[in-house]
Amino acid sequence: MNEHERRQTLADFLRTQRSRLSPEDVGLSAGMRRRTPGLRREEVAQLANIGSSWYVRLEQGRDVHPSVSVLESLAQALKLTLNERRHLFLLAGEPLPPHAFPLEEPISPALQQLLSELTLCPAYVLGRRWDYLAWNNAAEHVFGIDQSIPPHTNNQVWRFFANPGSKKRYPDWEGLALEILTEFHAASIRYPGDPWFEELIEDLKAISSEFRQWWPEYHPTRTMDSHKFTMHETLGKLKFEHVTLQLPSDPDVKTVIYTPDTITRTKLQRILGKSDQPARTKVVHQSAYAEQ
């Protein structure tokens, strides 16, 4: 998308969001009957505390550049959801400020049920900071997610580099490490100035010479969906097909599912297929953790 197309797409987005709101939705008087549905441009400008003529230029796709504070005001005036706010900032060429995100990332009952139903498929949910938010029995047995590795116990990247057992667990540890770094690098870029990311990255540099060496080297993002191998302490080599699914309502929340091949499925059946072992999903309690 070139600059002209980006400005036109932003203008279309603003018009669409404006048209779906009524004056009553934002606490304004409807006044006389309107020829077209939605708010007027002048009303959006008033709600966002910006100049009407400037906003008109923005909706016309003119060469104007809204600041982060103006985008925040527009998002509030138009009552945008988190995903719509993210889209607004993306179209404006600005990163979404870290404070725009809620501290907690709740896991819906439907998603928890999905994880529990995947009896022989290790599956877990990662948040925007690559924290484990929820996981099922199979993931716990295969990846040992319950094992405490402070100070960032719930973070997948930290666990991968700080846990000495990772190199034994993953035969292609270096290749997988580079894939994880590529994806995590892209995630951190979306939140510039976020002190949480900065602290984790500095801790990773201190704990891992590989992370310290590879982190400055940026590679184009590539998909991590592929064959995955892991070594289990009692079951031996396990082979999976790996896929990552994103939620339409929040693309930063990822559900990761490992589908075992026939041999691996038989092995997992030994420890996961017992009729007296109920299906369960573990969910991280985030009220305190999210404030770190």
Q: Give the count of alpha carbons within 13 A of 97, CB side only.
A: 10
Q: What is the mean predicted confidence (pLDDT) over 217-226?
A: 60
pLDDT attached to residue 289: 38
pLDDT attached to residue 292: 38
Quick one: pLDDT band at residue 287, thresholds 50, 70, 90?
very low
pLDDT attached to residue 291: 38
**Residue 288: pLDDT over 90:** no
Segment 261-279, tens digit of pLDDT: 999 999 999 888 753 444 5
**Residue 140: pLDDT over 80:** yes
What is d(CA 153, CA 140) in angstroms, rounded to the nearest whole number?
14
Instruction: Indicate the angle between helix axes 3-19 and 82-92, nearest 10 degrees.
Output: 150
**pLDDT mean across residues, the chain:** 84
CB-CB contact of 50 with 44 (8 Å): no
What is d(CA 139, CA 232) in angstroms, rounded to the nearest whole number?
12
pLDDT attached to residue 161: 96
Q: What is the mean predicted confidence (pLDDT) over 152-161?
A: 94
pLDDT attached to residue 2: 83
pLDDT attached to residue 128: 85
Q: Does the pTM of the predicted model rise above 0.75?
A: no
**Residue 162: pLDDT over 90:** yes
Share above pLDDT 90 across residues of the chain, in percent, rounded to a whole number: 43
Instruction: Report the sign of the C-alpha dihedral through residues 217, 252, 100, 153, in that order.
Output: negative
Segment 237-269, tens digit of pLDDT: 999 998 999 877 677 789 999 999 999 999 999
**Residue 84: pLDDT over 60:** yes
Q: Which residue has the higher pLDDT, 117 or 224?
A: 117
Look up residue 63 and give its two tokens. 């060469």
User: Could you give all domains of the chain from N- to C-terminal order, each with its CATH number?
Assistant: 3-100 (1.10.260.40), 109-291 (3.30.450.180)
